[in-house]
Amino acid sequence: MACHDAATDRDKVGPHLLGVVGRTAGSAESFLGHYSEAMKSAGAAGLVWDEANLAEYLKAPKLKVPSNKMAFGGLTNDDDIANVIAYLKADPKP
Ligand code: HEM
């Protein structure tokens, strides 16, 4: 709640997650000045947030993108991860 908005393009502590599935890592225009070098480099190296990469990132953010600055330990439960990704893919409009 405090860190991301997935229903609008408003950034918080972290970048907005509207349309993040399929987006290149570190590429939200409005957050370019705030990403870590690690996240921008990962995107420049070709990391795209498809479902498989998101699942790995949400399980272990610091393993998937070393030195990224998201202060989140990760999710341990595979069902939770699948549900979060389904939520991120869903059309936020009513
Ligand atoms: C289930 C919960 C979370 C999900 C699904 C999630 C998802 C993501 C994703 C996909 C990115 C990469 C975005 C991009 O490349 O544009 C990201 C980055 C980020 N997230 Fe989260 N996040 C979660 C929890 C959190 C929490 C709790 C915080 C704050 C304490 C946070 C803060 C950030 C920050 C600051 C970044 C940018 C990292 C960097 O530039 O190194 N996130 N998050």
Share of the chain above pLDDT 70, in %: 99
Residue ranges per domain, the chain? Answer: 29-89
Distance 76 CA to ligand 1 centre (A): 16
Closest-lying ligand 1 atom to the alpha carbon of residue 88: 5
Average pLDDT over the chain reads: 97
User: With 0-12 CB in 10 A as exposed, 13-18 as middle and 19+ as buried, what is 2?
Assistant: exposed
What confidence score (pLDDT) does residue 24 get? 98
pLDDT at 15 over 80: yes
Closest C-alpha to ligand 1, atom 27: 72
Q: Position of tokens 């699948």?
A: 82
For residue 42 and ligand 1, the question of a CB distance below 6 A is answered with: no
pLDDT in tens, 59-74: 999 999 999 999 999 9
Does residue 92 surpass a pLDDT of 90? no
Q: What CATH number belongs to 29-89?
A: 1.10.760.10
Q: State the average pLDDT over residues 80-85.
A: 98
pLDDT score of 93 more than 80: no
